[in-house]
Amino acid sequence: MDHSQISLQKQQARKQAKQVRKHLHENQRNIAAQHLLRFAPDLIDKFTSSIVAGFLPIFTEIDIIPLMTALAEKHCQLCLPVTPEKPSALCFRAYAPGQELEAGPLNTKHPDASSHQLIPDLVLLPLLAFDMRYNRLGYGGGYYDRTLKKFRESGVDVKVVGVAYSGQQVDKVPVTSTDEPMDGVLTPEGLMLP
């Protein structure tokens, strides 16, 4: 299958995945966010994480702010991605729950330039869909894929866990050679590892 066919499959899969999240009620989203808290110790134990990159939810992404707060209480240093204006690798800046943030591109928010830049041990990342081969479908900008490739090529041992609602699991995510795999997926039902 050529790249253009895979791109078309990804477009269709993104549309379907957005619909799945859109149909969750606010109460279901809140319960899901609270259920993630149970897995903070697992994330620390399985990935021996001291610096954890999270994300602030946009649109209908699962809310990991309570999970990030729990990780901070367990002495993890948190950081958030800084989304560049043009698609390229992300950088990560130190973050503490409740910290003032500035607006970034694509509806994102991030710590300002006075926050230290960090290299995470563990990246918790958003996604539209995932499969049990630990492939993820993102929004299509390639920000996380570029970032993970850069880390891995430079010898940084970063672990990657997608965070999603269970309903975001699909049989097969269409992938190309530029898509970076994950090391696990966290849903409100549990931490899935290869």
d(CA 123, CA 182) in angstroms, rounded, equals 10
Domains and CATH numbers, the chain: 3-192 (3.40.50.10420)
d(CA 126, CA 124) in angstroms, rounded, equals 7
d(CA 72, CA 79) in angstroms, rounded, equals 10
Beta bridge partner(s), residue 129: 137
Mean pLDDT of 1-20: 84
- pLDDT tens-digit series, residues 136-151: 999 888 999 999 999 9
Mean pLDDT (the chain) is: 93
Mean pLDDT of 165-176: 93
- pLDDT tens-digit series, residues 150-160: 999 999 999 99
- Kindly tell me if the per-residue pLDDT of 170 is higher than 80: yes
- Residue 22 or 110, more confident: 110
> Residue 162 in 3-state DSSP?
strand
Task: Give, in order, the Cα–Cα distances in Å from 6 to each of 1, 10, 54, 87.
Answer: 7, 6, 28, 20
pLDDT score, position 6: 85
pLDDT score, position 7: 84
pLDDT confidence bin for 182, thresholds 50/70/90: very high
- Kindly tell me if the per-residue pLDDT of 89 is higher than 70: yes
Contact by Cβ (8 Å): 22, 60:
yes
Mean pLDDT of 175-190: 95
Burial class (CB in 10 A: 0-12, 13-18, 19+), 12: exposed
pLDDT score, position 144: 95
> How many C-beta atoms lie closer than 10 Å to residue 172's C-beta?
12
Contact by Cβ (8 Å): 151, 115:
no
